[in-house]
Chain A
Amino acid sequence: MSFKSAVITFPGSNCDRDALCYLKDLTKGEVHNIWHEETSLPKVDLVILPGGFSFGDYLRSGAMASKSKIIDEVVKHANDNRYLLGICNGFQILTEIGLLEGALIRNKKLKFLGKNCFIKKKFKNNFNSSIKDNQILQIPIAHNEGNFYCDIETLNLLKNNEQIAFEYCKGEFSNTEENMNGSIEAIAGITNKKKNVLGMMPHPERAYSDFHQSQDGRLIIESLIS
């Protein structure tokens, strides 16, 4: 059975093409591109909400996109127990929809951060099952609002339910900084309770091809397919 997937494009999405290539190259299956005004979603295994500046980040990152027509279908897809991945702006949209807990606020230094970061998996789920414990992944980040925040009760819930998928860590060499954006407990990605919805700030779709600086981003799709 081939793996089917879809990428939603909102006005201002700018990683939709990257996500499409990522899925095409790694899943070898059918990949759909869905415009935000569509009212139906094909039956697929995985939906990606891509990175970018949907609706120009006006009002609040992800807030306007969370009210798009397609979102009802995206929620249904998630409630059907199928996979939903929000990358960067997609993560922000997922928190705005309420599918994921917490919020992404301005980076601690109040500046955009576009560089490599290092992450490792915290709790195992279907998105990171192919990643070894303590394996350090190098994946780029590019965001203004990637500083994950939630209150202490929520944080405890996230921990107790093992919903923290990725956390930032130090790389192997001296010039690497841990937790650059100031996220609470260095959280880089979380899932919902059922662990079929993942939101993460790093961009795995920019770290998979042979010419990319790292190919660690493959591991997420490999985890889902295996």
Chain B
Amino acid sequence: MNEELILQHGLTLDEFQVIRKYLNRDLSIEELGIFSAMWNEHCCYKTSKKWLKKLPTDNEIVIQGPGENAGVIDLKDNDGIAFKIESHNHPSYIEPFNGSATGVGGILRDIFTMGARPIATLDSIRFGLIETEKTKYLLNGVVHGIGHYGNCIGIPNIGGECEFESTYDFNNLVNAMAVGHVQKDKIFYSKPKSIGGLIVYIGSKTGKDGIHGASMASDVFSEEDEDEKRPSVQVGDPFMEKLLMEGCLELMSSGLIESMQDMGAAGITSSSVEMASKGNVGVHINLDKVPLRQPLSAYEILLSESQERMLAVIDKKNNHKVREILQKWQIDYEVIGEITDTKRVVFESNNKKVVDLPVEIIVDDAPEYDREFYIPRKRKNKDFDFSKIKLEDMIINLLTNLNYLDKSWVFDQYDSTVMGDTIREPGQSSGIVKIHGTQKVIGACTDCNPLYIRINPYEGMKYTVAESYRNLIACNINPLAITNNLNFASPLDPNIMGELVLSIHGLKTAAVKFNTPIVSGNVSLYNQTNEIPIKPTPVIGMVGSNMDLNKINTNKFCEIGNKILILGKQLAKNCSPYLLQDQKIAFNIFEFNDLEVLDLDFEKKIANCVLELSDLKCIMSCNDISRGGIFSALLKMQYKDMGFRVKVPDPIDLFCEYSAGYVIEIRSKDFEEVTSFLTKKGAEYLEIGEIIKEGIEINSKKFDYFDIMNKYRNDFEKIIS
């Protein structure tokens, strides 16, 4: 086999030699395609595996950790929650609408493959600077794509994040998360149960779209690649997915399916190989039986990533019933093979075995690398000059920065109330939905602080996990578990690799402390274009619950006259990275001081105070303090034209970041009870002011409420149009 062909398939010559030696024969082109699909980063985690193994993945509520289509946690009674986040970064840059739409479609399939009905989606999207040509096009396309798919299939989008930063200029990020509800005794796994079971194909016909999508996702880009790669982007059809979802859920609840696997990245190849590997069995598939949209070669069928397709194993005796149900939903269905005891993956086409490989070499012998990494040097601390900075300018700096403005333009394009169980919509600290027919609620959020992580990957990651944690706590949601999406540039650069290793380490430390195991996840590497690496962006999706929907907090102001208290500890001005960056005090990444060590015990202590006070119904509203400090938190809490009057020693304090930071609104009559509770718990608090009608007042300086709020609410759309 010639070298060029091997390299084109994304394999190194060394990797090829391992395969060649094991098989002791030449490979067919189809077999080479299989290794190309299965041995890339996207499918086999060859760079990250060593480090991911260190993450905590289990505790008393974990039903299914990483390794299945989605993780599942226990929500008492017979309720389980399945959830996962996944990236669709490269496709969304090449073709933003379809790239992001199919990202949503893919993650939803991961959820209903487990037998769970999706009940919410979230996302985390990052773009370059708005001034950069293309950013507006990418933003419009991505938001349209996410909305189109989720709206049509009818799953509420309940939250997420959307940020703009220069390193994403030619490498935007699109991470989509989905949450589903499953009955614990009806969870489906990808492991087939019996030898002789029929392998059946369910869903859309196979076409040319997405061939080599998974290996493209593991590639470094240059701008010229864009047009050439566009045919590798899958095209989504949410209507088809809706039918597929209803059909599959009906099959599963009727007990007609043994196991199921979504044909996602690397299509039929990956799903069948995983099935064989999980069950420690073999598969024999006749590619001639695969429903096709257009004539395709065996090689193309194996690698197509056409959307809205499932592979399932059924008992022979159920064949007729399965066909009947799927006919009702107008879904293509075909028996294409069977489960064998050979522990080999065999594909035949035109009466010829085009692939005949032991499962072992594809899965167990997949490469695993221990790549070189550097630990960032310790930063020298220095003081910045804040003397020239004025309160008015600080406010203007926030209100002219897309990252601080109200993102309704984004969220309003998503249906967030379909299914009728939504309690908190996007734009609040976490999205909340009710488990249908119960009093239980699920809260979820996505977060990442790339700037923190670039400054100090280990501590920065702790802050990221803590931010998600606070987002849930603020709503009186108990944090339960995590899904992660590690977006990094090329791990071949030891500096980047160092960020990957250390941030996983930080994730581990925080997850252990918060008892929030990582139950599913995804890794996206090589996020760099024209040799500009993205900032390290390990996104966290955190899920939590409250068993009583009447106990959750709102993030919005409730009543004029109520007092505003601050909990937590302010980071020093010199060590508040977003303050320094966004108030234009530090420009270069090398200028920043190191992060303060985040005290996770302190985070827990304050969080417990918030939870207890919420249960006592002493908290009228609560929001966490993150980027933009108290001021930004207060802006987000505006509701029904209620503003605030506050007094602080130094106005800059209002813009500093926090550890364990919360703004809470309490009634005057509860002041005594709340403050003595906090004092008893050893939790310091700061009373900064009160809620007033249609006003914003800081240290006796009055601002035009409607001017500020109009900018906050409407300027996002103005800037991006």
Residues of A within 8 Å of B15, CB to CB, are: none
Contact partner of A53 (CB less than 8 A), chosen from B238, B413, B417, is: B238
- The answer to whether A113 and B412 have CB atoms under 8 Å apart is yes
Residues of B within 8 Å of A22, CB to CB, are: 420
Say if the beta carbon of A209 comes within 8 Å of chain B.
yes
Within 8 A of A (CB), among B388-443: 408, 411-420, 422-423, 434
Within 8 A of A (CB), among B631-672: 640-641
The residue on A at minimum CB distance from B419 is A18
**A27-42: contact bitstring with B at CB < 8 Å (1 yes, 0 no)?**
0000000000000000
- The answer to whether A206 and B417 have CB atoms under 8 Å apart is yes
Given contacts A172-B640, A211-B423, contact A56 B418 (CB under 8 A): no
Say if the beta carbon of A142 comes within 8 Å of chain B.
yes
The smallest beta-carbon distance between B525 and chain A, in angstroms, is 33
Residues of B within 8 Å of A155, CB to CB, are: none
**A13-50: contact bitstring with B at CB < 8 Å (1 yes, 0 no)?**
01101100110000000000000000000000000000
- The answer to whether B417 and A203 have CB atoms under 8 Å apart is yes
Say if the beta carbon of B237 comes within 8 Å of chain A.
yes
A149 to B414, CA, bound (A): 24
The smallest beta-carbon distance between A168 and chain B, in angstroms, is 15
The residue on B at minimum CB distance from A203 is B417
- The answer to whether B640 and A18 have CB atoms under 8 Å apart is no
The residue on A at minimum CB distance from B240 is A56
Say if the beta carbon of A174 comes within 8 Å of chain B.
yes
Within 8 A of A (CB), among B597-628: none
- The answer to whether A52 and B154 have CB atoms under 8 Å apart is yes
Residues of A within 8 Å of B412, CB to CB, are: 111-115
Given contacts A113-B412, A114-B417, A140-B417, contact A211 B549 (CB under 8 A): yes
Say if the beta carbon of A175 comes within 8 Å of chain B.
yes
Residues of B within 8 Å of A12, CB to CB, are: 152, 239, 242-243
- The answer to whether A56 and B152 have CB atoms under 8 Å apart is yes
Within 8 A of A (CB), among B666-721: 706, 709, 713
Given contacts A21-B420, A205-B420, A211-B434, contact A53 B242 (CB under 8 A): yes
A-B contact count (CB 8 A): 91
Instruction: Please count how many residues in chain A sit with their CB below 8 Å of the partner chain's CB atoms.
Output: 33
A205 to B418, CA, bound (A): 9
Residues of A within 8 Å of B12, CB to CB, are: none
The residue on B at minimum CB distance from A51 is B418
Given contacts A114-B412, A115-B408, contact A18 B420 (CB under 8 A): yes
Given contacts A115-B408, A173-B641, contact A18 B418 (CB under 8 A): yes
Residue of A53, A55, A113, A175 most packed against chain B (CB within 10 A): A175
- The answer to whether B413 and A114 have CB atoms under 8 Å apart is yes
**B223-253: contact bitstring with A at CB < 8 Å (1 yes, 0 no)?**
0000000000000011110110000000000
Say if the beta carbon of A133 comes within 8 Å of chain B.
no
A57 to B239, CA, bound (A): 8
Say if the beta carbon of A11 comes within 8 Å of chain B.
yes
Residues of B within 8 Å of A53, CB to CB, are: 151-152, 154, 238-239, 242
- The answer to whether B418 and A142 have CB atoms under 8 Å apart is yes
Given contacts A112-B413, A114-B416, A173-B641, contact A14 B243 (CB under 8 A): no
The residue on B at minimum CB distance from A35 is B328
Residues of A within 8 Å of B147, CB to CB, are: 112, 114
Residues of A within 8 Å of B419, CB to CB, are: 14, 17-18
The smallest beta-carbon distance between A55 and chain B, in angstroms, is 7
Given contacts A11-B330, A15-B418, A211-B549, contact A175 B152 (CB under 8 A): no
Say if the beta carbon of B275 comes within 8 Å of chain A.
no
A205 to B411, CA, bound (A): 21
- The answer to whether B238 and A142 have CB atoms under 8 Å apart is no
The residue on A at minimum CB distance from B237 is A56
A12 to B243, CA, bound (A): 7
The residue on A at minimum CB distance from B330 is A11
The smallest beta-carbon distance between B29 and chain A, in angstroms, is 37
Residues of B within 8 Å of A206, CB to CB, are: 417-418, 420, 422
Say if the beta carbon of B16 comes within 8 Å of chain A.
no
Say if the beta carbon of B373 comes within 8 Å of chain A.
no
A residues touching B (Cβ–Cβ < 8 Å)?
Answer: 11-12, 14-15, 17-18, 21-22, 51-53, 55-58, 111-115, 140, 142, 144, 172-175, 203, 205-206, 209, 211-212
Shortest 6 CB-CB contacts between residues of A and residues of B: A14-B154, A56-B239, A18-B420, A142-B415, A114-B415, A53-B152
**16 A-B pairs, CB-CB below 8 angstroms?**
A11-B329, A14-B419, A22-B420, A53-B151, A53-B154, A53-B238, A56-B240, A112-B147, A112-B148, A112-B412, A112-B415, A113-B412, A144-B151, A173-B641, A211-B423, A211-B434
Given contacts A14-B154, A52-B154, A53-B152, 17 further A-B contacts (CB under 8 A): A11-B239, A11-B242, A15-B154, A15-B418, A17-B420, A53-B242, A112-B415, A114-B151, A114-B416, A115-B408, A115-B412, A142-B151, A144-B151, A174-B641, A203-B417, A206-B417, A206-B422
